[in-house]
Chains A and B, each alone.
Chain A
Amino acid sequence: MAKFNLNINGKTQEVEVDPSTPMLWVLRDHFKLLGTKYGCGIAQCGACTVHLGDDAVRSCQLPVSSVGDKDITTIEGLSEKGDHPVQQAWLEVDVPQCGYCQAGQIMTASALLEKNPNPSDEEIETAMNGNICRCGTYTRIKKAVKIAANSVNA
């Protein structure tokens, strides 16, 4: 057990856990930030995606001890009112089916647009390929990413 001070969604918060604990479980079990989802635990599905600094990372493979003072943003912290351009585009296209994978999809997409505000189809596919959606909403996700890109650039 060790104590960690973490910057999560703009707030510094303390937690005492085993240093090997993945951020996914720190977020879900200790901070009750339940928007970040468990899907595979081995960085293959993207359901657990959060931002570490500016990067989209798989929190299931991110030990709490490796975070340090970097900022962590979860779906709950992406925007105050749920009106981030990516979230708005998601609502406009009505992307979700079951919805389980969508927080991860949105976190991956928003990190992509932060770095590359005008991605090509191929760049979108490369960035989003780590996020599985069994419901099969990929064509809508791609459409929503493009709409969000246009609104970011507008």
Chain B
Amino acid sequence: MTLVKTAIGRRSFIKSSALVGGGLMLGFNWLASCKLNPEQVNSLPGEWFELNGYLKIADNGQVTIMSPNPEGGQNVKTAMPMIVAEELDIDWKDVIVEQAPLNTDLYSRQFIGGSQAIRTSWEGLRMAGATARHMLKAAAAEAWKVPIEEITTETGTLHHKSSKKSASFGEMASAAAQISVPEEVELKAIDDFKIIGTSKKNVDGHKIVTGKPLFGIDTQSEGMLTAMIVHPPAFGMKLKSVDDTAVKTMPGIQDVFTLNVLDDNYERQHFDTCTFLEVVAIVGHSTWEVMNAKKAISVEWEPFETYAEERKPYRGPKQKLMIPSGLENTSDHKAKMAEMGSKKAAIVRRDGKPETAFRNAAKIIERTYTAPFLAHNCMEPMNFFADVKGDSAQLSGPLQKAELTELAISARLGIPVEQIDIQLTRLGGGYGRRSYAHWALEAAVISQKMKAPVKLVYTREDDMTGGIYRPAYQVTYKAALDSSNNLTALHINAGGIPESPLYANRFPAGAVDHYLAESWKISTNITIGSFRAPRSNFMASAEQSFLDEVAESAGKDPIDFRLELLNRAAKNPVGEKNDYDADRYAGVLKLVKEKSNWGKKDPDIKRGVAAYFCHNSYAAQVVDMTWENDQPNIQKVTCAIDCGIVINPDAASNLCEGGIVDGIGNALYGELPFKDGSPQKRNFDTYHMIRMSESPKEIDVHFVKNNVDPTGLGEPTFPPIFAALANALYSATGKRFYNQPFINEMKALK
């Protein structure tokens, strides 16, 4: 066992106010929300005792565990309570999981983003369970008048061996709630885990397959109105005038008005990206009526002038961003990136003497890769519920960064955060998109104006054309090989619109003697946001395709070539700031090599490999495909991943499979082109989302077994699959694919 201080460190999850034992009973509504059968009524607990912000124990031994983070498909709502239950030492079947509302006093970092939920809360969740277990033991020790050290627990029961006394957690819950919180608690040894590491079904599985209203878009409330917005049809445009005469008298329509999403003097934070500062709101009784009004309304737009926007980013000082005027085109974007990429740019890292190494090279390989803007296309369109009354607001919806959204809404409405209540609904996909909740502000402003509960829903078209995209990127890699085919120098020139994708300290930095990384960016009025493994999703695709080509040119097996470089980085790294653990990196490559039977050649199966490290986890993949009717048919993807301790293996595997399918879809088909500022795809008839027939027939996920604290899983399998796919496409077609989406160049092959 490990002894840990329960003292409140910065990384700790539980805040002090929650640690006052036996605190208030929180609003406990699970009984009200489900219809119970007679057996359930008989086994109902008489009373619940809250031991800390995470859990309550009932007199009948049932345990309710609050899941602090919003659920968007990563399965944290099952995994996080599993960690608490493990340390509490109870039977998983006695656990009821509830979604916690936003509560900044009780919990910290109620975020989805960066695949960090489990990593950052691991310690805190364990402590929450262990603290409660300790309090139960202390209560038993007091009741039985024996030293606490002699009390043991076993799945929901307390024992005192020599006196043969025992009691269930339920029996001791009331007394435990009176015990003061210990200063130190013991955590289980990892080898003693009984729940962690075993597959548990999704706690919301039954609700999902029976269609229960779990999502923000399902929110209902007495007297609720439906709202939609009309935003400019193109980036670079703003509202000029609205003619709502025809619309105001349409059936069911309550009001039409324009609104400013943010106040002019509001100090923006990192996630306050707002694409269209002024929009038209249409409010009515039913969705179809509002949709019809939306089609009928006539709005005039006009180009805006260049303006400046101040913003306080995630880290570092305030920034001033220039938002350029103009109606942009994809063809211009490509030309500008090509021009920037051909020039010298800001040097981010430099090792050795790259210029000399290139001059002395026996062979030089240089390739340029590009990728377009991408829309997130969460299947649940953006939506939010707001009921703003005087100086208070009841809000509900799918948010990745609720704490920050609350601050922005508080500032916009002029209502203190204490008077704002946010319920976190299940997210019908997030992938970064729901970190930027301008639609929540819109809903709140509309409700305040209407003095009524309002649900704002974006149409698919509003959603897809509303900005917050994955940026467009370009990178040029240049490699020098000496006469014995060793990689002696690497030059990376990376940039994008409007941000650079470069991670200068990642592999192969550290494995090459002479290294130069340069970065540039081009401004735009098209808004961008985090998109599943931001920047990594492009860098992996390019870097791992390039290394494949360099390995081929050096006459080496692509896995052996990477292992050779990693071996160098492990034994004798170049530079000090290398951002990866070369041994763990090599570990996933070795595992994927073994599990995919890499050495075994089948002439019909074309293969490609790639590996990447991001979000603290390591992933390697092998794609097996056949080429039929001018198209890839992906037979199998083998994936090896090192994300430390795996909490819930089957669900973890599901998430990895999802990242792989999503990555293949975006690599092959994903693209949002622009003409005169206007997105050229508005719905799924033209935006090609991967479908079942295009997905891998089989996905085989293997986890590296170790006792490292758990790390991210929602993102790490996404970036490398782009390259594993490109490399397999090369072995299938003899053609390298440099520009995403690959479908465009695949068509040209015919």
Binding site for B on A (CB under 8 A): 1, 17-18, 20-22, 25, 28-30, 32-42, 44-45, 47, 74-76, 78, 82, 87, 90-91, 94-103, 106, 121, 124-126, 128-142
Contact = CB atoms under 8 A, between A and B. Distances in A.
B696 interface: yes
Contacts of B201: 91, 94
B289 A18 contact: yes
B378 interface: yes
B288 A18 contact: yes
A128 B291 CA distance: 28
A24 B183 CA distance: 56
A75 B211 contact: yes
B379 A133 contact: yes
Given A28-B287, A38-B217, A40-B460, A96 B379 contact: no
The 4 tightest CB contacts between A and B, nearest first, are A35-B211, A136-B661, A100-B428, A98-B73
Contact of A98 (B226, B379, B460, B698): B379
B209 A136 contact: no
B391 to A, nearest CB: 31
B116 to A, nearest CB: 18
A37 B427 CA distance: 13
Given A37-B380, A96-B209, A98-B72, A139 B698 contact: yes
Given A133-B379, A136-B665, A140-B657, A99 B684 contact: no
B3 interface: no
A25 B286 contact: yes
Most buried by A among B199, B286, B430, B660: B286
Contacts of A47: 379
A18 B725 CA distance: 49
A81 B690 CA distance: 33
Contacts of A136: 657-662, 665, 690, 695
A38 B381 contact: yes
Contact of A96 (B202, B380, B660): B202
B166 interface: no
Contacts of B650: 94
A92 B457 CA distance: 33
9 contacts: A90-B209, A91-B209, A94-B205, A98-B379, A101-B428, A103-B211, A135-B379, A136-B657, A138-B690
Contacts of A33: 211
B569 to A, nearest CB: 32
Contacts of A142: 692
B128 to A, nearest CB: 25
Given A75-B210, A139-B661, A134 B689 contact: yes
A45 B685 CA distance: 9
Contacts of B690: 136, 138
A97 B112 CA distance: 14
Most buried by A among B457, B651, B684, B698: B684
B657 to A, nearest CB: 6
Contacts of A100: 215, 378-380, 428-429
Given A41-B459, A135-B658, A141 B692 contact: yes
B691 interface: yes
Contacts of B292: 18
A128 B202 CA distance: 23
B614 interface: no
B8 interface: no
B352 interface: no
A44 B691 CA distance: 11
A135 B211 contact: no
Nearest to B699: A139
Nearest to A144: B209
A94 B202 contact: yes
A1 B379 contact: no
B377 interface: yes
Most buried by A among B211, B693, B696: B211
Contacts of B426: 98-99
A12 B159 CA distance: 58
A91 B205 CA distance: 6
Contact of B696 (A39, A44, A131, A139): A139
A23 B231 CA distance: 27
Nearest to A122: B693
B208 interface: yes
A139 B636 CA distance: 11
A41 B294 CA distance: 14
B244 interface: no
A61 B275 CA distance: 30
Contacts, number: 190
Nearest to B75: A97
A94 B211 contact: no
B358 interface: no
A74 B695 CA distance: 27
B208 A102 contact: yes
Contacts of B291: 41
Given A25-B288, A100-B428, A82 B661 contact: no
A134 B433 CA distance: 13
Given A91-B205, A126-B693, A21 B380 contact: no
Nearest to B74: A97
B218 interface: yes
Contacts of A129: 691-693
B78 to A, nearest CB: 9
Given A34-B211, A39-B460, A97-B73, 13 more contacts: A18-B289, A35-B210, A40-B684, A75-B211, A94-B205, A98-B428, A99-B73, A99-B208, A100-B428, A132-B684, A134-B431, A137-B654, A139-B696
Given A39-B381, A47-B379, A98-B426, A82 B693 contact: no
B379 A42 contact: no
Nearest to A89: B209
Contact of B693 (A87, A95, A125): A125
A67 to B, nearest CB: 15
Given A40-B460, A96-B205, A137 B651 contact: no
Contacts of A44: 683-685
Most buried by A among B206, B208, B657, B685: B208
B212 A35 contact: yes
A131 to B, nearest CB: 8
Most buried by B among A39, A78, A94, A103: A94
Given A32-B220, A42-B683, A100-B379, A138 B692 contact: yes
Contacts of A21: 286, 288
A96 B210 CA distance: 12
Interface in B212-244: 212-215, 217-218, 220, 226
A80 to B, nearest CB: 10
Contact of B210 (A40, A82, A98, A135): A82
B655 interface: yes
Contacts of B662: 134-136
B379 A45 contact: yes
A99 B377 contact: no
Contacts of B214: 99
B504 to A, nearest CB: 30
Most buried by A among B75, B288, B697: B288
A44 B565 CA distance: 46
B204 interface: yes
B251 interface: yes
Contacts of A103: 208-209, 211
Interface in B392-444: 426-431
A17 B288 CA distance: 10
Nearest to A130: B691
A98 B654 CA distance: 11
B427 A98 contact: yes
